[in-house]
């Protein structure tokens, strides 16, 4: 089944300043490759007909991000430089140009290592079979309801509320940044287009109207990159995982992804020589 994908790449990345003063966050290299490409690589298991990316802060750094190493359509850039539209408004802005029945909305700055390479395909199949309005790809995380918000669902996976704090009688699930939506989500956007949150506004209106929104839980490693210290900590954690579990399918997939690129790029690691050397060794390993 073909679908339309929309990568959210218009954020300001304020917590990563000064590195994001000239670069959009998805253009910042992680393990030598732009964050945005780490997010997009998981879409290769799907049949993506069109790929949108929105532009706001440092748009030229996103236009310069080379997606040709990925088996995906060339991105169509949507200009939000005048006003950022949020996760919901971004999709509402192009919804009338979307012809596929299914849409995949993804965060353009995720570092996420699923244990199975077909997780998105499985989630899409279940989403389509059940004719849901939306299906969020999720995992368990101890910080849901504490430092992380969550999708709070019943035992059958049906979401009843999005909340930053625990909801009595429901289980919290961590959203990893990939969301399948039926095109009828257009009914729940506000027009004229404005800044809108896809979870707390758009899908919440859909649930109130009786639509099913569900979670697709799976086993994965997910890494926080929102602050400089967390970005560097996550870099070390991924390197540790690769060194300890080279034969793990998720690690093999990561190494294969890195091997496509000619050489690593560095930014945050420039003042961390030991970390840079570890990344360089990782690249040597990826080349076989």
Confidence of residue 80 (pLDDT cuts 50, 70, 90): confident
State yes or no: pLDDT of 288 exceeds 80: no
Residue 41 makes CB contacts below 8 A (sequence gap 6+) with 70, 257
| Cβ pair 194, 118 in contact under 8 A | no
Residue among 11, 81, 46, 15 nearest 178 (CA): 46
Residue 190 makes CB contacts below 8 A (sequence gap 6+) with 92, 196, 201
Q: Which residue has the tokens 């790449």?
A: 9
**What are the pLDDT digits (tens) for 2-31?**
999 999 999 877 888 988 889 999 999 999
Q: Which residue has the tokens 């950022």?
A: 84
**What is the DSSP-derived secondary structure letter of residue 271?**
G
Domain ranges for the chain:
2-223, 228-286
Which of the pair, 84 or 121, is modelled with greater confidence? 121
- Mean pLDDT of the chain, nearest integer: 94
What is the model's pLDDT at position 273? 92
**What are the pLDDT digits (tens) for 118-172?**
999 999 999 999 999 999 999 999 999 999 999 999 999 999 999 999 999 999 9
Mean pLDDT over 189-214 rounds to: 97
Residue among 219, 117, 109 nearest 174 (CA): 219
Provide the strand spans (E) within 31-83: 33-34, 47-55, 76-79
Which of the pair, 8 or 246, is modelled with greater confidence? 8
For residue 131, the Cα-to-chain-centroid distance in whole angstroms is 23
What is the model's pLDDT at position 256? 94
Report phi then psi at 47, rounded to 5: -100, 90
| Cβ pair 235, 31 in contact under 8 A | yes
Gap between the Cα atoms of 136 and 199, Å rounded: 10
**What are the pLDDT digits (tens) for 87-104?**
999 999 999 999 999 999
Cis ω for the linkage preceding 192 (within 30 of 0):
yes
State yes or no: pLDDT of 47 exceeds 80: yes
End-to-end CA, the chain: 34
**Confidence (pTM):** 0.94
Gap between the Cα atoms of 219 and 274, Å rounded: 30
Query: For domain 2-223, is the CATH number 3.50.30.30?
Result: no
Cβ-count burial 209-237 (b if 16+ within 10 Å, e if not): eebbbbbbbbebbbbebeeeeebbebbee
Residue among 183, 190, 182, 147 nearest 166 (CA): 147
Please give the C-alpha separations between residue 55 and each of 76, 111, 126, 155, in angstroms, as whole numbers. Answer: 10, 20, 31, 38
What is the model's pLDDT at position 83? 87
Beta-bridge partners for 150: 163
Cβ-count burial 142-180 (b if 16+ within 10 Å, e if not): eebbeeebbbbbeeebebeebbeeebeebbbbbbbbbbb
Confidence of residue 226 (pLDDT cuts 50, 70, 90): confident
């Amino acid at each position: 089944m073909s679908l339309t994908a929309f990568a959210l790449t218009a954020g300001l990345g304020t917590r990563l300043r000064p590195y994001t003063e000239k670069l959009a966050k998805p253009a910042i290299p992680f393990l030598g490759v732009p964050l945005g490409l780490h997010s997009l690589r998981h879409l290769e298991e799907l049949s993506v007909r069109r790929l949108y990316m929105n532009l706001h802060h440092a748009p030229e750094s996103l236009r310069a991000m080379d997606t040709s190493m990925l088996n995906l359509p060339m991105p169509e850039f949507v200009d939000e430089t005048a006003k950022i539209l949020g996760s919901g408004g971004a999709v509402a802005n192009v919804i009338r140009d979307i012809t596929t029945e299914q849409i995949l909305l993804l965060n353009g700055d995720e570092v996420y290592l699923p244990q199975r390479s077909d997780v998105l395909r499985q989630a899409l199949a279940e989403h389509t079979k059940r004719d849901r309005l939306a299906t969020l790809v999720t995992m368990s995380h101890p910080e849901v309801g504490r430092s992380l918000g969550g999708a709070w669902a019943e035992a059958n996976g049906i979401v009843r509320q999005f909340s930053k704090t625990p909801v009595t009688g429901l289980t919290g699930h961590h959203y990893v940044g990939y969301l399948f939506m039926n095109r009828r989500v257009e009914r729940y956007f506000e027009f004229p287009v404005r800044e809108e949150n896809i979870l707390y506004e758009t899908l919440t209106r859909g649930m109130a109207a009786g639509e099913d929104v569900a979670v697709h839980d799976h086993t994965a490693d997910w890494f926080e990159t929102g602050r400089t210290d967390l970005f560097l900590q996550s870099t070390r954690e991924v390197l540790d995982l690769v060194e300890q579990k080279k034969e793990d399918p998720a690690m093999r997939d990561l190494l294969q992804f890195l091997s496509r690129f000619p050489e690593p790029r560095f930014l945050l690691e420039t003042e961390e020589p030991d970390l840079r050397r570890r990344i360089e060794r990782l690249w040597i390993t990826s080349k076989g």
